[in-house]
Chain A
Amino acid sequence: MKKTFYLLFMLLLVTACKKQLAISSSAKVTNYLVVDGNISVGDSTFITLSRTVNLDSGARSKPELNAVVTVKGSAGENYSLVSKNNGQYVCAPLNLSLSEKYGLEIVSSDGKKYQSDFVPVKNAPAIDSIPYVAKGNGLQISVDAHDATNNTKYYRWDYIETFNIRTAFESKYIVIDPNSGPPSDIGLRTSQQQIYNCWISDTSSNIITNSSAKLLKDVINESPVINIPSTSEKLHIRYSILLKQYALTSDAFDYYELLKKNTEQIGGVFDAQPSQVTGNIHCLSNPAEPVIGFVTAGTVAQKRIFIDNSNVPAGWAAITPYTGCELHTLLYKRLVVSSNPNIPDMTINEIYNLIYSGSEIPVDLAAGGYTSSNSACVDCTLRGTNKKPSFWN
């Protein structure tokens, strides 16, 4: 729907225009509690507590430290969570009962008490497959799932994607000791020191939901997860996605849908107007105080796939940040001849000036010196990690 209406604007002789504005400061200072997380079954539970911040704030959020967080069961059992001092509260895998309901109790550092509604444990069925298909200008990755017992109906997904990058030039050499002079000033890189091959990971930022409530069977067929543009660097070498699937109650599903509408599908002519999102957490100390977040409980199903560059259409060319990178040749002794007879000829040590100082990174040996390029063209650790992830094969 959203797309359709966007097209309408395109259609109007491309007369429509979407312009980014500077974010102005909030008219009102707020400090509302934000609760994010799922009470996991069979895995560690992570609950993140934070506070709302001003719209123009540089910080994404303000972590809520020193709170006391407890998972409570409807049968009366309590499980305490441990603060990780960054607003995260953790506990080891809980063995929760499917016949019970669970909720969160939070006592904030300022002594206010918050309580979530008790929610049933919804266990996510397995992900059947993660199909992908090249469509137009991108690779559409989707998800197939089903629940033979017809109990899930409402699904949510998030993902961690990881992809391989390679820099413009593979640096084989590294500065070891600038004081020792050649040849021991620069040596071969070990495999731990390699900065050519890296991995970048990212998490989903959009809310991805779908429902089979209208269908005869509890089936999710090719529900869109992510569309990767054909020019994306993600598909340049190898890409992997770890998809996590959550089962939701219908209330939780409505909450996520509204949150999506309010923050992602907004501003178009036929988009719904923004509205207040009410979660399932309440401030007991001050019922009028808004609390943001929706507590869910259940198992998470996950599945990983890999997509190699050979799996995408041959014509797709990635746009990397390495276009325009140049390889230079730097010498220990570069003779500089001046055209001005009053200035005598000079010999310059380029290795000393450029490589020791770190402004260039040596790539390979050259006669009388090294080839080199600047760090943005050579050092992949500026963008990712050179430690190969354990799941990468």
Chain B
Amino acid sequence: MKKIYFTFILFFAVKLLHAQVSKNISVNFQQATIEQFTGELETKSGYHIYYDHAQFDSLKITLQVNNQPLESVLSQAFHNTTYHYALFESKMQVFLTRDKEIRTQPAAGYFNVKPGQTQPVAPSQVIDFTTAPVKAPVIESTIENKLYEVGIKTNQLKAGKASVSGYVKSAKSGVGIAGAGLYVANSGVGVTTDQFGYYTLSLPRGKQLLIVKGVGMKDARRQVMLYNDGDLNIELQDQVTTLKEVKISADKVANVRSTEMAVSRLDIKSIKQVPAVFGEADVLRIVLTLPGVQSVGEATTGFNVRGGAADQNLILLDDKTIYNPAHFFGFFSAFNPDIVKGIELYKSTIPEKFGGRLSSVLEVTDREGNKKNFAGSAGIGLLTSRLNVEGPIVKDKTSFIFGGRTSYSDWLLKLLPEEYKHSHASFYDFNLDISHQIDKDNNIYLTTYLSKDNFRLNSDTTYNYSNKNANIKWKHNFNSRLYSLITVGYDGYKYDISSSANPVNAYKLKFGINQTNFKTDFTYYLNRNNTLDFGLSAIYYKLNPGTETPNSASSLIVPDKVDDEQGLESALYLGDKFDVTPDFSISAGIRYSMFNYLGAQTVRTYAPGLPRTPLNVLDSTAYSGGKVIKTYTRPEIRVSARYNITDDLSLKASYNTLAQYIHLLSNTTAISPIDIYKLSDPNIKPQYGSQVSFGVFKNAAQNTIETSVEVYYKHIDNYLDYKSGAKLVLSHAIEQEVLNTQGKAYGVELSIKKTTGKLNGWINYTYSRTFLKQDDPTAGQLINGGAYYPANYDKPHSFNFTGNYRITHRYSVSLDVTYSTGRPITLPIAKYYSNGAERVFYSDRNEYRIPDYFRSDFSINIYGNHKVHQKFHNSWTVGVYNLTGRQNAYSTFYQQQGGAINSYQLSIFARPIPFINYNIRF
């Protein structure tokens, strides 16, 4: 490292100069660094050269000079740049500076000496930089006030644009930050980083100011001198001092600027500050506070997005499909809050790379392991505990993150009455992710997930269910404009129910889903105005729709198996984000999806126009293994557009069509872990959906308040409903039990978010309706005479307030208030006496509603001190769920007991539930 001086240089200037003859030198630099440059000049000229390394580390010098004085060499090297030199012949010293010029002489007239010696000379022989094949190394930028020079440096700026790409990373852990926004000051240009924190931005060459905003990170600026295409990694500082910053969207400007509509991003910090029922942050339940998301009740993690059914949501954990995202029959979500980085919910503009579900995509992203240091955290709650460890395997290259959770609820079961005392319930889940950087253009990510639930009622029925997922992703940058992501993975979900209480009837019922995925996604930055996304994906499904076997030697159960189902879902997609003008951009894409229903399978043909009953089976055909039985194809359209009226006001519109080839069959109110999955086959058509939406987005108060109004209309075809008394378990002809229905949904969503400040949070109001209709006379029976009837989750009015107030840096309070119209239910219209008791007679479906829902939750977060370098950081969360103790109805129903009909209301969290949670981070 060279010595650094300069501020007092001017004092030397007065001590000038006894003349000395400079010797002439010859040099030939090709992309020389400053060290090479100064080293050679020092050797050849005998001068000492002083400079600040930080200012010159991005400089590359290409210069060929023959037999010229040092001053001439320097003059040519720095001509037309922001660099300057000062040469002191008397001391044999050269000082190099950037931006500020050191004058070797006092100002004109100071000594009445005429200036002139240091005037730069015109360049003589400059070799054009573009002929140099050398690639500039990746620049790691950490300092705001430094000018980073990107691309192979040229003495003269070329006209036009160049692209800059790289990773936005956490300075602390070295982990990429997904969803961070990069904006060019004073222009409409901006991009968001991908899931790995990677970005590419096309800019006019020259000096640019980049503004970088990452969730949970300090906002940062980077000054960039863009010469040519190049790489710039940006490290952001964690926001350590402002603890409870709510960041709802990845970027403040993004709300208005991006073409995406109805995308909700939440980082784990926001998720953690919302009070949860047992004190442990719940990644899925938070989704219910977002506009346009409903659920049938509290004991379920199934959610309904804009009038869609619960199985129409694609739930992805780092691109792994999680079929059952719940533990404990829905009271906990399957995602470990210590591992999760954030979630994204796409409700309307579903990118063309996603498909296979009609309503939404919920992307849950795990953090990447800390690449610099070992770290971890642990949490203790009333029913569960969790631990997470992360750290580098090879520093700055390879890291891992591990998270585990387990429950210990048996103590709670011991409090129950005798008949339930000997029950047992437990679950665990593990995440292990490894990321490895092969080189600057190649990264590999391995992510795995395993969960298991076990539940036993005394020594009677035992329930088990388990998710198993793993995938490998390889990200390759071909160049700064094109990169690819290849994903190969396996997703499995299986469950079983067994009982051996009665030796003659002892049984075990098993179900399973296996899918193998292959996916490639390419992103190509065609030019400043166009970004192309394209790729293909394939999923091979193998479903076990039910196997029953005897569970003991004395069991008389006849083994029964519904034939395995096989299917291949593949898709090809292409999308373009086209910025027509800085204020108007369009995202247009098409996804061509195809589904093949494969053998071996036996398929029944029914008499056309007649109800699907055993009597109307015309024929039954057996297909051999691997044979394509039926193919469905569908072009899916994904279009959205955004027009900026002013900097903080924009209009957006979108139109989407989607197809779904896998169906969840359930005739219970809540989605249950033992529901059955079914692939589309010749008798069960795929579900098709289309949605059109329109929105106005306005930011206020320096983008700290985001407001939006969105309206949508949605249509669904071939949604499956069930015949009265349908038997879904072990049904060998499930098409005889289900009905095709169509659905329509519409609504308006109003949202206000305040993202920064001591008080932050969001308020949402949604008016929405969802109706289903079953009017196919060949289905055998009509629900409500074929008229539209409200879906189970049709809740017209819904209001949510989620807020956090930071009293000091060590205390903050959170309040969550939810109100919604009661969900529709079917109530009887008459009673009668039969079989020794009063019975009720039901008529039209979903004609009535349960009482309105209202709940408020409160929590206090207490943090230890905030010393950054302390070994352990601990925090407490104390709160009350359902503060007012309102007995919200889950259902109201009529039940016969002791021969008479009574009316009941069931409430799930019917009283205030206090909770406490202790967390430690190391």
Contact = CB atoms under 8 A, between A and B. Distances in A.
A325 to B, nearest CB: 25
Contacts of A204: 836
Given A264-B895, A273-B669, A276-B843, A55 B416 contact: no
A280 B724 CA distance: 15
Contacts of A23: 894, 901-903
A20 B416 contact: no
Nearest to B722: A275
Given A221-B502, A263-B894, A272 B556 contact: no
A367 interface: no
B670 A270 contact: yes
Contacts of A266: 893-895
B420 A10 contact: yes
Interface in B814-851: 826, 828-843, 845, 847-848
Majority DSSP secondary structure for residues of A touching B: loop
A215 to B, nearest CB: 4
A26 B667 contact: no
Nearest to B415: A14
Given A215-B504, A258-B724, A275-B725, A269 B830 contact: no
Contact of B502 (A55, A222, A258, A274): A222
B724 A4 contact: no
Contacts of A27: 829, 847-848
B609 interface: no
B876 interface: no
B904 A275 contact: no
Contacts of B331: 12
B423 A7 contact: yes
A58 to B, nearest CB: 11
A20 B904 CA distance: 4
A112 interface: no
A376 interface: no
A314 interface: no
B209 interface: no
A61 interface: yes
User: Is the interface on chain B under 10, 10 to 19, 20 to 34, or 35 or more residues?
Assistant: 35 or more
B461 A1 contact: yes
B457 A4 contact: yes
Interface string A10-44: 11111111111111101110101010100000000
Contacts of B894: 23, 55, 263, 266
A290 B409 CA distance: 49
Contacts of A11: 409, 412-413, 416, 420, 423, 425
Interface in B20-35: none
Contacts of B828: 26, 55, 274
A111 B503 CA distance: 54
B831 A217 contact: no
Interface stretch (B436-444, B530-538, B908-916): B908-916
Given A16-B910, A272-B668, A52 B835 contact: no
B277 to A, nearest CB: 9
Interface in A144-177: 158
B911 A271 contact: no
Interface in B883-922: 887, 890-896, 898-899, 901-911, 913
A59 to B, nearest CB: 9
A56 B803 CA distance: 45
Interface in B501-539: 502-505, 507
Given A20-B902, A54-B830, A263-B894, 15 more contacts: A11-B409, A15-B909, A17-B906, A30-B841, A34-B832, A55-B901, A136-B418, A136-B419, A206-B837, A214-B507, A256-B835, A267-B892, A269-B670, A275-B826, A292-B834
6 contacts: A13-B913, A36-B835, A61-B833, A205-B836, A272-B667, A293-B834
The 6 closest A-B pairs by CB, nearest first: A17-B910, A221-B504, A275-B724, A267-B893, A52-B830, A205-B899
Interface of B: 297, 299-300, 328-331, 409, 412-413, 415-420, 423, 425, 455, 457, 460-461, 463, 502-505, 507, 548, 556-558, 560, 667-670, 672, 724-725, 727, 781, 792, 826, 828-843, 845, 847-848, 887, 890-896, 898-899, 901-911, 913
Interface of A: 1, 3-5, 7-24, 26-28, 30, 32, 34, 36, 50-55, 57, 60-61, 136-137, 158, 203-207, 212, 214-217, 219, 221-222, 254, 256-259, 261-264, 266-278, 290, 292-293
